[in-house]
Amino acid sequence: MVDIIAARAQIGKFFYEYGFHEILSSVPQNRLAEIIFGLAMKGNQSKTTDFAELNQRVRTTYGHFLSKGKWDEKKVSQKQQEGAFHKLAKLALERQTPLYLSIDDTVIEKKKPSSRAKRPMEGTGWHYSHLEGKQVFGYQVFGANINVDDVSLCYCLRRCCSENGSKIDMAVQLLDTLPETDARVILQMDSWYTCKALWDKALEKHITLIGAMKTNRILYPDGHRRSAQDYAAMLPNGQYHLATVGGHEYWIHRYEGALNGIDKAVVLLSYPKNAFGNHHALRVFICSDLTLSDEEILAHYTHRWNIEVMFKQQKMYMGLKTFMLRSAKAIDRLFIILPLTHFFFAVLYDTLLPLSAAIRCFRTALCMF
């Protein structure tokens, strides 16, 4: 037996504590509470039939709420992001450790192209999936994750589409809207996002940028124009030193100088200890803080993995992979509700539990056997 009243009371308390009652009337609050409750109890679906089944309503109630309901999803997203950011920024200051902001994107494959569907999903297209190694039909989702040590929260999810601009545009906009904080913020990204636009915006916002970089990026050692991979290959062995990060050893060369569009940066050329000189094993990293040591830069970058975990959690527990909505607006609103749900479970027991653990505790508390 599930105590639905207790669940709604907990969600209502969360809405009041973080100020959502100021921007939402009672009906949208009730629908959002029912969706959050449905995501917790059913898991990995995000289907309107599941929400209806648990809350004893008709399925179309939730389809209408997501596609046509009168509530300001942008204000909800802003409240969720402010609440999550301030929560972790406070924790970062208490622990005297950085707040890590990681950005990336993932592809959500939908098996049947719109040209073959009787009722096609809006906003779909063909996108390259690194997991599949080919173009797949579906959605590309831009995401951001924030974490302090082992505490991680989904900061935002947005559908990649022409209305939202390019992925770089969304990343720059994200930095523009970050709340102010005294905590040190470190921005992390893979090689696709490492570009001048984000570099300049990070410097403007006093954010440290650490990113992977493609091996064909141009460096200017001693004023000569060379790609990172050519520069790495021409360096004598004595120009590398061993560094230990996370229990693994790497051969590292540190370059400080100009890149195309960037006046000065730290660039690390890195090989695993047992693959020195193998151009397939070469990894290149860039950092905007010249005071950080090589080991510190690489240690900070290991926190980027948290966004991969976040995407997996959203797919496993929140239905990011299996949602069944057709309206682009409904999908965009769902992508706002999922980080909101993650935030609710993370702060539910005042211990900032991992998402999976918090959901299990929530289910256990509400279910009587």
Residue 42 confidence class, pLDDT cut points 50, 70, 90 = low
Distance between CA 340 and CA 130 in Å, rounded?
A: 27
Report the chain's mean pLDDT, rounded to a whole number.
88
| pLDDT tens sequence across 316-337 | 888 888 887 888 999 999 999 9
Residue 265 lies in a domain: no
Q: Which residue has the higher pLDDT, 125 or 84?
A: 84
pLDDT value at 167 more than 90: yes
Domain range for 27: 4-77+322-366
Residue 67 lies in a domain: yes
Distance between CA 309 and CA 99 in Å, rounded?
A: 17
Q: In the chain, how many domains are there?
A: 1
Residue from 73, 82, 288 nearest 177 by CA: 82
Q: Which residue has the higher pLDDT, 290 or 150?
A: 290
Q: What percent of the chain has pLDDT over 90?
A: 63
| pLDDT tens sequence across 227-248 | 999 999 999 888 999 999 988 9
Residue 88 near residue 147, CB atoms below 8 Å = yes
| Whole-number pLDDT of residue 348 | 82
pLDDT value at 1 more than 60: no
- Give 90's contacts (C-beta < 8 A, 6+ positions apart): none
Query: What number is the average pLDDT over the span 131-160?
Result: 91
Residue 15 lies in a domain: yes
Distance between CA 274 and CA 238 in Å, rounded?
A: 16
Which of 32-41, 183-192, 352-361 tops mean pLDDT? 183-192
| Whole-number pLDDT of residue 82 | 96
Alpha-helix runs per DSSP H in the chain: 4-17, 26-42, 48-55, 59-67, 73-95, 167-176, 196-204, 228-234, 294-301, 305-317, 328-347, 355-366
Distance between CA 52 and CA 367 in Å, rounded?
A: 19
Residue from 109, 174, 116, 113 nearest 142 by CA: 174
CA 241 from centroid of its chain's CA atoms: 33
Residue 138 lies in a domain: no
pLDDT value at 249 more than 90: yes
- The neighbour count for residue 218, using CB atoms within 10 Å, is 14
Distance between CA 134 and CA 129 in Å, rounded?
A: 6
Residue 356 lies in a domain: yes
Residue 44 lies in a domain: yes
Distance between CA 31 and CA 151 in Å, rounded?
A: 28
| Helix pair angle (355-366, 26-42), 10° resolution | 100
Query: What number is the average pLDDT over the span 203-211?
Result: 96
Tell me the torsion sign for CA atoms 322, 327, 330, 332. Answer: positive
Residue 49 lies in a domain: yes
Residue 62 lies in a domain: yes
